[in-house]
């Protein structure tokens, strides 16, 4: 057997193993991985070049595109086939379904307590000072969407203590 191994030159063996489909696939996957890495680095660099406000907008857009709305799951609107059904049956089903997600709405507030209300709004949302101030000044406005009754209770109580009129919709 040793005579057979000595008759085949090592260069031929190397070419034989180097030309296998497995090595081509490995080379191709390495090139693909390198392209992916370059693409990810380019995306990361572009994200780092964004301003703080643009990054915030991008984060919201990304969550929405991924279906990860922070106020609850994204609910798609019924299609035309569902809308074409009988209106009475749909109304009956809507009444039968118990509401589990609520919106906390700020109706009005006392002017003297405006700063305290803004601070409280910032505590249960992740808004900055300016965004929270703008939101409070737009009253009546929905402060938080899609919260459970248990989660909304403390928020409503705290805002009512501060002199705001808050409703659960």
Structure tokens at 39: 């693409």
Residue 2, pLDDT above cutoff 70 = no
Long-range pairs for 46-53: beta carbons < 8 A, 24 or more residues apart: none
Contacts (Cβ under 8 Å, ≥6 apart) of 113? 162, 163, 164
Taking residue 79's Cβ as centre, other Cβ atoms within 10 Å add up to 8
The two tokens of residue 161 are 């203590």
Q: What is the mean pLDDT of residues 60-64?
A: 83
Tens of pLDDT, residues 65-99:
877 765 555 555 555 544 444 455 555 555 545 67
Question: Is 60 exceeded by the pLDDT of residue 129?
Answer: yes
Q: For residue 152, count other CB atoms closer than 10 A to its CB.
A: 20
Q: What is the pLDDT of residues 112-122, one digit of tens each?
A: 889 998 988 88
Lowest-pLDDT range of 22-31, 42-51, 60-69, 87-96: 87-96
Q: Where does the pLDDT of residue 10 fall: very low under 50, low under 70, confident under 90, or very high at 90 and above?
A: low
């Amino acid at each position: 057997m040793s005579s057979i191994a000595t008759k085949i030159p090592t260069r031929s063996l190397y070419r034989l193993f180097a030309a296998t489909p497995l090595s081509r696939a490995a080379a191709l996957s390495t090139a693909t991985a390198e392209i992916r890495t370059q693409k990810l680095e380019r995306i990361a660099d572009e994200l780092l070049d964004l301003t703080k406000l643009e990054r915030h907008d991008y984060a919201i857009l990304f969550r929405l595109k991924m279906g990860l709305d922070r106020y609850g799951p994204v609910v798609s609107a019924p299609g035309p086939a569902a809308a074409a059904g009988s209106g009475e049956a749909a109304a009956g089903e809507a009444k039968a379904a118990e509401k589990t997600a609520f919106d906390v709405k700020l109706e009005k507030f006392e002017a003297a307590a405006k700063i305290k209300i803004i601070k409280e709004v910032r505590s249960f949302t992740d808004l900055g000072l300016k965004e929270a101030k703008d939101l409070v000044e737009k009253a009546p406005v929905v402060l938080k969407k899609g919260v459970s009754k248990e989660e909304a209770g403390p928020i409503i109580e705290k805002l009512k203590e501060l002199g705001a009129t808050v409703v659960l919709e």
